[in-house]
Amino acid sequence: MTAETDACIFCDIVRGQAGSNMVYENDVVAAFMDTSPVTPGHVLVVPRQHCAYLEDVRAEVGAEMFRVAHRLARALRRSGLRCEGVNMFLADGEAAFQEVLHCHLHVFPRFDGDSFRIDADWQRVPLQQLEAPAQQLRNGLELLS
């Protein structure tokens, strides 16, 4: 164990050293109720191995996180909880409002009048204005190869 995992509440939860309402677990991920839920039924899906950010998550672990989140989203619609839609939300880094530095995927039911909001200034821009950032992203992808 490292000092990083010693201080991580999600690591404590997956090791069974902190209380939780576990919903699902396997050898790769665990899913448990969020103690600050947006709506009733709000679940977090986390890798068992400590990974602070999405970049630290191995691709196969990320795929398993999404598979489990997909199954939980389907379960929410059948659970009897109020669920007119489902959001999956992953905040990667402090600037993106990540509060616990252990990568986690939020899965929560949505319904008319709930309190969750994402406030942004969504503006349509011409395609030509998107070419420069698109090229920068393509360059970033090349650097990963």
β partners of residue 87: 108
Catalytic residue among 50, 102, 104, 106: 104
> How far, in Å, are 39, 54, 113, 133 from residue 93 at the CA level?
23, 9, 28, 21
Residues 6+ apart with CB under 8 A from 100: 8, 9, 10
Neighbour count for residue 95 (Cβ, 10 Å): 7
Return the exposure string of 109-134: e unless at least 16 CB atoms fall within 10 Å of the residue's CB, then b.
bbeeebeeeeeeeeeeeeeeeeeeee
For residue 31 the two structure tokens come to 């899913």
| Whether residue 106 lies in the annotated active site | no
Catalytic residues: 104
